[in-house]
Amino acid sequence: MTKLQNLFHSICARVLPTACIVCGVFQDQQICIDCIRLLANEQLSNYECCCRCANLLNHSELLDHECLECTQNPPHFDESYCLDRYDGRLQKPLHELKYHGRLFHASGLTLAWNVLNPLDQREEIAGYLLPVPLSEEKLCARGFNQSWEIARKIHCGKFLKKNPHILKRHHHTHQQASETRVNRQRMVWGQFYINPTYQRLLEGQTIVIFDDVMTTGATLNEIARVLKDNGVSRVINWVLLRTLDSRLGKAS
Ligand SMILES: [Zn+2]
Ligand SMILES: [Zn+2]
């Protein structure tokens, strides 16, 4: 962002009130301080989650820090960090962004991510951050990729380079929303590919994939498979919202 844009945004923030994307109260931030407090109390990092897939752990899984499903049938990705549950307070703002084109909500969701920061802080990741892509057709129809709009301004340290052009997606018309995990895994197979221009860059790299929603994990698993087939050594998922009942076979 240029200095002029920064100045413009700071002037706007001072003179124009804005509505909190969660509760709608007018004040000076995209999310009010009360909602930030509520989100902080409810965020998934307060709970014991599987280090691989970020699903809530059962009591018997706590020692391993990994759910039984991931232990028995390990996904291609290595770690996942999710900010909040899908049926929490950020679902509505995300839907406003995705289905009603309210781009302003993207910066509010970025703010939530940056303030609450669900990540393990022990290391600074070096590599590339890639948003889950839309197909060219879907991108044209929607006008933007919601995952990229949220990810482009998240704080991620100086060694992680953001790039929305490396990972590409073929067009696919079937809707995933009501499918089971096994069906979704079948449906997403072969949907993603690496832009040949960037193929060599990935060798031995750590890649962070940013997604707005993780349901069964099938999409992220397929992306991780493609990345590892192309020489990537480690794949980490950063996800805004996580459905927590996906292992019951229902993708809500
Ligand atoms: Zn609020
Ligand atoms: Zn797991």
Encode pLDDT of 128-169 as tens digits.
999 999 999 999 999 999 999 999 999 988 899 999 999 999
pLDDT the model gives residue 251: 38
Rounded distance, CA 116 to CA 192, Å? 30
Rounded distance, CA 20 to CA 27, Å? 7
CB atoms within 10 A of CB 145: 19
pLDDT the model gives residue 7: 76
pLDDT the model gives residue 164: 96
Regions of the chain short of the pLDDT cut 50: 247-252
Distance from residue 44's CA to the centre of ligand 1 (Å): 19
| SS3 (DSSP) at 27 | strand
Report the DSSP pairing between strands 160-162 and 167-169. Answer: unpaired
Rounded distance, CA 240 to CA 227, Å? 21
- Ligand at shortest distance from the CA of 24: 1
Distance from residue 229's CA to the centre of ligand 2 (Å): 22
Rounded distance, CA 98 to CA 119, Å? 24
Report the DSSP pairing between strands 26-27 and 18-19. Answer: antiparallel
- Ligand at shortest distance from the CA of 51: 2
pLDDT the model gives residue 38: 97
Residue of 88, 90, 69, 91 whose CA lies nearest to 80: 69
Distance from residue 88's CA to the centre of ligand 1 (Å): 13
- Ligand at shortest distance from the CA of 111: 1
pLDDT the model gives residue 185: 72
pLDDT the model gives residue 31: 94
pLDDT the model gives residue 172: 74
- Ligand at shortest distance from the CA of 82: 2
Distance from residue 72's CA to the centre of ligand 2 (Å): 10
Distance from residue 146's CA to the centre of ligand 2 (Å): 25
CB atoms within 10 A of CB 89: 17
pLDDT in tens, 225-249: 999 999 999 999 999 999 986 544 4
